[in-house]
Amino acid sequence: MQLPADFILKYQQLFKEPEASQFLASFETEPLHGFRINPLKQATPVQEDLSNPIAYSDWGYYGRVSGKTSDHQSGAVYSQEPSAMYVGEVASPQPGEKVLDLCAAPGGKTTHLGSFLNNTGFLLANEIDASRSQVLTENVERFGMTNTIVTNTDTPTLAKHLPEFFDRLLVDAPCSGEGMFRKDPNATTYWSLDYPKECAMRQKEILTDAVKVLRPGGELIYSTCTFAPEEDEQIVAWLVKEYGFEILPVKKYPQMSSGKPEWADGNPDLTNCVRLFPHLFPGEGHFIAKLRKPGSDSQVNQKPAKNINPAVKELNKEQAQLWQQFAKTHLNTPVTGKLVVFKDQLYSIPEQTPNLTGIKISRLGLWLGTFKKNRFEPSYTWALALHPTDWQKVLTITADEWQKYVAGETFMCDASLAKDWYLLVHDQQPIGFGKVVNGTVKNFFPKRFRFNL
């Protein structure tokens, strides 16, 4: 790999020899791949190699996963780089907490947070870029997260409308990306000696507003995928000086390194941070810090909002009747959360959802389905959030039938099956809904996701 000359010189000066040579040589080695299994699913994935677990993650494994398996399509596995997994592990939100993932796309860290929350509490996943927000929404839905709302707005707007609301805040900040050079060599082409400083200015702008949404006593997890001290220790030192944050210790597993006080203001507490260097650790470059906001949570008394947005309504009489009839004849397990409608779409939102007026919403909780004339039609995303035991009529399908399903084709079934909505299951994982009519399973797999094997 052709590293920028200024990059080489910078880290030769920071590391000294022989570590500088070891660090720079690591960019010539192959990056590692990893994936997590989804604890929100009822069954363990059956198509993945689970023989090489990652020591610091209950759900992480080394290895590649294919995007064209039922394990992946159903959300039972999520591909994620091994170092990036440690960010979620450090955050480790507790069930019932209110959590904000501020820079959330494409969704690796969001889904990891969701694994800890286990569909309890409230998770807001925000992404300012509209196209990336759509990718984030798709990954949240595939993972089967029922406690999560996805937004597409800027940090000042969130700070204005949600002051001191969250118990935990993750800022995986936009950065110079030095830690991803090995994985994405093109990232070297836009790097310059001043680029980390420019990124640090942007990070301070984001954090200036972000800290306002965190309650007193709440925890901020700050991470980057860069080695640059300007974006790592120096940002943490700035948070301590500017806002009085306390740097909390982060557990370090073998081959993980401590933060470097000498790369910032000399504060010894910076050793509580963790650095993942590719010449020492089996993964890409990462920096992670955990900080506590000054004050006590007793200062905050938040109540759930009665209304979350003027466009979001309660069910009218006709909709309530259609829903109750559908739930009675199809569900074994009641839907949790608060039921609301946006136009003709039915959603379940977390009970702790605040008033989101003024905040652009990309995904309003769990989309259950659509009210149509005299009927209710369940959504594909709802199927991925279900366990087979939740649904009254379940149809287990073969590998050939699954291939037809993801290609958008109909397929035959037992002619004796009653006409109705069936939860389709393959390899123990719900993969969508099908409507059985006269021995044929009608296909409702979304066109935008279809693929051929």
Lookup: tokens for 25: 């040589």
Q: Which of 175, 225, 273, 413 does the annotation list as catalytic? A: 225
Domain count, the chain: 1
Q: What is the pLDDT of residues 51-110, one digit of tens each?
A: 999 999 999 999 999 999 999 999 999 999 999 999 999 999 999 999 999 999 999 999
The verdict on residue 257 lying in a domain is yes
Per-residue pLDDT, 172: 98
Helix (H, G, I), strand (E, B) or coil at 124: strand
Per-residue pLDDT, 306: 77
Percent residues over pLDDT 70 in the chain: 98
The verdict on residue 214 lying in a domain is yes
We report the CATH number of the domain holding residue 127 as 3.40.50.150
Q: Give residue 302's pLDDT band: very low, low, confident or very high (50, 70, 90).
A: low
- Check the annotation: does 175 bind a ligand: no
The verdict on residue 255 lying in a domain is yes
Q: Which residues of 233-258 are buried (b: 16+ CB within 10 A; e: fewer)?
A: bbbbbbbbeebebebbebebeeebee
Per-residue pLDDT, 300: 54
Q: What is the pLDDT of residues 378-422, one digit of tens each?
A: 999 999 999 999 999 999 999 999 999 999 999 999 999 999 999
- Check the annotation: does 320 bind a ligand: no
- Contact at 8 Å (CB) between 83 and 286? yes
Residue-range definition of the domain harbouring residue 249: 5-297
- Check the annotation: does 154 bind a ligand: yes
Q: Give residue 252's pLDDT band: very low, low, confident or very high (50, 70, 90).
A: very high
Per-residue pLDDT, 301: 52
- Check the annotation: does 104 bind a ligand: yes
- Check the annotation: does 103 bind a ligand: yes
- Check the annotation: does 138 bind a ligand: no
Phi, psi of 244 (to 5 degrees): 75, 20
Percent residues over pLDDT 90 in the chain: 95
- Contact at 8 Å (CB) between 266 and 244? no
The verdict on residue 199 lying in a domain is yes
- Judge whether 273 counts as a catalytic residue: no
The verdict on residue 178 lying in a domain is yes
Helix (H, G, I), strand (E, B) or coil at 258: strand
The verdict on residue 89 lying in a domain is yes
- Check the annotation: does 358 bind a ligand: no
The verdict on residue 358 lying in a domain is no
* Structure-derived torsion over alpha carbons of residues 376, 398, 333, 347, reported in degrees to the nearest 10: -40
Query: Angle 340-342-343 (CA atoms, 0-180°, nearest 5)?
Result: 130
Kindly report each contact of residues 176-179 with a partner whose C-beta sits within 8 Å and lies 24 or more positions away, as own/partner: 176/226, 176/228, 176/231, 177/225, 177/226, 178/7, 178/225, 178/226, 178/227, 178/228, 178/285, 179/83, 179/224, 179/225, 179/226, 179/227, 179/276, 179/278, 179/284, 179/285, 179/286, 179/287
Residue partners of 42: CB distance under 8 A and separation at least 6:
387, 388, 389, 428
Q: Give residue 298's pLDDT band: very low, low, confident or very high (50, 70, 90).
A: low
DSSP codes of every residue in 161-197: HSTT-EEEEEEE-----GGGTTT-GGGGGG--TTHHH
The verdict on residue 435 lying in a domain is no
Q: How far apart are CA 443 and CA 451, in angstroms?
A: 13
